[in-house]
């Protein structure tokens, strides 16, 4: 599955503009499970070198997801644990998805980084992305205790899951890409240099046809039609 995802991400990275791909949604076809993490039976047969190589590949996968130029959404339709949670953390948004077969509110231990219970640590970005998302104290609580939380806690107590209304795809695709780039790069910098990053990203949207379309549509009181140009 890891190799398939890497190939898919590479295709999207280099072809999203010409293919009209504005957003990536990652979901699971398995009822009641988004991703429950690594196969522990398989991991128990790995040598130390194989384990290290596998985790490195996972880490690279999560980095590739995070660095995609388009918005990414983890549509979590069931249990999301360990590496599955790390995958969701690499996305821009995490959304709990209901379906007729699974009621998320009734799933105990729905979400969590459970690695310390197995005498390891999250190795595919969990120790870095979770603190940046919810703050250091809460991240330490979840990681140190290997606590599994339910969907309500993920939404309300920890702020891990998102609840947003307006679809991203309705907005200017170049503007959304530049907003993501500005945020992703700027958060790694001091404020002065981050503002320069924002300035450079803003400069990319000024000459676009979409910007003119947005202004024209507003003036004409109609819905804009953005083409990513």
Q: Which residue in the list 38, 90, 139, 175 is annotated as catalytic?
A: 38
Q: Which residue in the list 37, 90, 112, 115 is annotated as catalytic?
A: 115
Identify whether the C-beta of residue 107 lies closer than 8 Å to the C-beta of residue 68.
no
> Is the C-alpha dihedral spanning 125, 128, 134, 136 positive or negative?
positive
Nearest residue to 113 (alpha-carbon basis) of 97, 96, 129: 129
Q: Which residue in the list 36, 78, 86, 175 is annotated as catalytic?
A: 86
Q: Is 83 exposed, middle or buried (0-12, 13-18, 19+ CB in 10 A)?
A: buried
Residue 156 is a catalytic residue:
no
Q: Which residue in the list 82, 83, 96, 172 is annotated as catalytic?
A: 83
Identify whether the C-beta of residue 84 lies closer than 8 Å to the C-beta of residue 154.
no
Residue 83 is a catalytic residue:
yes
Residue 86 is a catalytic residue:
yes
Residue 119 is a catalytic residue:
no
Nearest residue to 108 (alpha-carbon basis) of 37, 166, 32: 32
Identify whether the C-beta of residue 184 lies closer than 8 Å to the C-beta of residue 66.
yes
DSSP per position, 33-86: EEE--S-HHHHHT--HHHHHHHHHHHHHHHHHHHT-SS-EEEEE-EEEETHHHH
**Catalytic positions:** 38, 83, 86, 115
């Amino acid at each position: 599955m890891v190799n398939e995802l890497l190939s898919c991400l590479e295709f999207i990275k280099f072809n999203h503009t010409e293919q009209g791909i504005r957003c990536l949604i990652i979901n699971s076809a398995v009822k009641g499970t988004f991703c429950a993490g690594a196969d522990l039976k398989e991991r128990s047969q790995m040598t130390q070198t194989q384990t290290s190589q596998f985790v490195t590949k996972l880490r690279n996968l999560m980095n590739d997801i995070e660095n995609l130029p388009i918005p990414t959404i983890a549509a979590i339709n069931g249990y999301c644990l360990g590496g599955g949670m790390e995958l969701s953390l690499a996305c821009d948004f995490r959304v709990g998805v209901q379906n007729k077969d699974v009621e998320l509110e009734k799933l105990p231990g729905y979400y969590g980084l459970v690695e310390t219970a197995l005498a390891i640590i999250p190795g595919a970005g969990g120790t870095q992305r979770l603190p940046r998302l919810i703050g250091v104290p809460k991240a330490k609580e979840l990681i140190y205790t290997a606590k599994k939380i339910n969907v309500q806690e993920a939404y309300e107590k920890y702020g891990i899951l998102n609840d947003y209304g307006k679809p991203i795809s309705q907005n200017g695709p170049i503007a959304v890409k530049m907003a993501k780039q500005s945020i992703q790069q700027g958060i790694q910098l001091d404020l002065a240099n981050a503002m320069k990053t924002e300035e450079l990203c803003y400069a990319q949207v000024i000459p676009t046809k979409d910007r003119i379309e947005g202004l024209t549509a507003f003036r004409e009181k109609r819905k804009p039609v953005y083409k990513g140009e």
